[in-house]
């Protein structure tokens, strides 16, 4: 008889993230091939896990069409060489797709229905721009259910500035520049590369190459330079390309397991799932979504924000992260927050990003036995937020050594 069990994040890997569009490194690469390569890399790194023991595969995509359609979890599993006995399905919660893949598979493991599962996401924003093949119900506008601007993420970011005037453009510029610098420092220290799966890519002339690093980084960014950028979402606005995540292509995947599977296969989990929550807010100001979802997740876990020692917050926009930090009384430059930078520099391939946050948090946990709990959180289009709290299996109860 199935029993409740702990849920563990055993491992996670991802492709390097590429700039979306014709000049990006994945322009001639299929979206499903990106997630297939990520699955292959993850399973090769975890060779003690029998492929036929994977109970399910959940793969998210925001634009479920073309090479991102056809029940991605199942098709990607087959293409990655998993046995035909392994089922799979697709997930769609816009930016929180991969996060939802993880929480859905985690819940299935937690109630004892599954032992092992793969969860991740992919987004090829070059092939499939957000909202490019959708037909919103006219009632949304006709009945004024949602302001038309709610479908433009940049407009919703500007509205956070409107609602909270003390969250200034200058603060956002400083945060955006810091993200670039922290990512570059993490690369130079070799912290990000171990979890990247190299991808063979073909350019416009048909020449093959190898994608090994995130393509969109701009380490030369300065606060002074960001101050001069245009504000594309509103004349004389406050949101710029330098304080926004770039349009990005990429895929992520994670291996989750229950307590018995960890013991059976001698696995070494990187994190334990403590709690998760999703919440809804007004779509017009969707960036504040992680505030209520984090409050719900903390309550479920019996924790407070002071118990969180590391934060991996998705930088859809700098103002979105700053609004959460401000709500909880955390400084913009708190060293616990995105210590290796975030999506402003790395990129945000929508449905893939949730697991990217988890991969980085897991790697940081291994370096920080003084930290017990960490948070991965993100805003979600159409007015939602998602948060997952994790426990560090390496926690030793000792304070950080100086």
The residues that are catalytic are 95, 348, 379
What is the spatial distance between Cα 112 and Cα 99, in angstroms, rounded to a whole number?
A: 20
What is the spatial distance between Cα 305 and Cα 331, in angstroms, rounded to a whole number?
A: 13
Give start and end residues of each alpha helix (H) in 347-392.
353-367
Contacts of 97 (CB under 8 A, 6+ apart): 60, 61, 62, 91, 121, 123, 350, 351, 352, 354
Contact 191, 151 (CB under 8 A): no
CA distances from 385 to 104, 157, 243, 287, 294 (A): 16, 14, 19, 8, 8
Contact 16, 215 (CB under 8 A): yes
What is the spatial distance between Cα 353 and Cα 250, in angstroms, rounded to a whole number?
A: 9
Q: Are strands 308-313 and 373-380 parallel, antiparallel or unpaired?
A: parallel
Q: At what angle do helices 318-327 and 169-188 cross, to 10 degrees?
A: 100
What is the spatial distance between Cα 156 and Cα 150, in angstroms, rounded to a whole number?
A: 6
Kindly report the backbone phi and psi dihedral angles of residue 110, in degrees, each rounded to the nearest multiple of 5, phi listed first: -60, -35
What is the spatial distance between Cα 288 and Cα 292, in angstroms, rounded to a whole number?
A: 8
The tokens for 383 are 């007015």
Angle at Cα 100 formed by Cα 96 and Cα 103, nearest 5°? 140
What is the spatial distance between Cα 393 and Cα 395, in angstroms, rounded to a whole number?
A: 6
């Amino acid at each position: 008889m199935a029993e409740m069990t702990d849920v563990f994040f055993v491992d996670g890997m991802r492709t390097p993230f590429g700039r979306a569009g014709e000049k990006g490194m994945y322009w001639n690469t299929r979206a499903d091939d990106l997630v297939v390569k990520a699955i292959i890399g993850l399973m090769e790194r975890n060779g003690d896990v029998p492929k036929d023991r994977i109970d399910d595969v959940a793969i998210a995509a925001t634009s479920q069409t073309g090479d991102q359609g056809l029940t991605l979890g199942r098709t990607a599993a087959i293409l990655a060489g998993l046995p035909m006995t392994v089922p799979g399905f697709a997930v769609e919660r816009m930016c929180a797709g991969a996060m939802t893949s993880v929480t859905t598979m985690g819940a299935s493991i937690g109630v004892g229905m599954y032992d092992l599962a793969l969860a991740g996401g992919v987004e090829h924003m070059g092939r499939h721009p957000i909202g490019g093949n959708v037909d919103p119900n006219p009632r949304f506008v006709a009945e004024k259910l949602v302001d038309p601007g709610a479908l433009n993420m940049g407009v919703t970011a500007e509205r956070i500035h409107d609602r909270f005037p003390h969250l200034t453009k200058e603060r956002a510029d400083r945060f955006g520049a810091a993200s670039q610098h922290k990512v570059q420092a993490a690369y130079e220290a070799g912290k990000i590369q171990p979890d990247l799966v190299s991808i063979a890519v073909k350019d416009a002339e048909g020449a093959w190459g190898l994608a090994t690093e995130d393509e969109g980084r701009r380490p030369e960014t300065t606060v002074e330079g960001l101050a001069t950028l245009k504000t594309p979402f509103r004349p004389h606005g406050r949101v710029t390309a330098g304080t926004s995540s770039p349009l990005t292509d990429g895929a992520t995947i994670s291996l989750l397991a229950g307590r018995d599977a960890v013991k059976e296969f001698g696995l070494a989990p990187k994190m334990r799932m403590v709690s998760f929550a999703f919440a809804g807010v007004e779509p017009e100001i969707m960036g504040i979504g992680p505030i209520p979802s984090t409050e719900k997740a903390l309550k479920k876990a019996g924790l407070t924000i002071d118990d969180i020692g590391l934060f991996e917050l998705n930088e859809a926009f700098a103002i979105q992260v700053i609004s959460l930090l401000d709500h909880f009384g955390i400084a913009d430059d708190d060293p616990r927050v995105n210590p290796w930078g975030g999506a402003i520099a790395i990129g945000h391939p929508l449905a893939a990003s949730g697991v990217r946050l988890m991969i980085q948090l897991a790697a940081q946990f291994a370096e920080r036995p003084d930290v017990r709990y960490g948070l991965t959180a993100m805003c979600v289009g159409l007015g939602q937020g998602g948060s997952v709290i994790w426990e560090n299996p390496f926690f030793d109860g000792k304070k950080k050594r100086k």
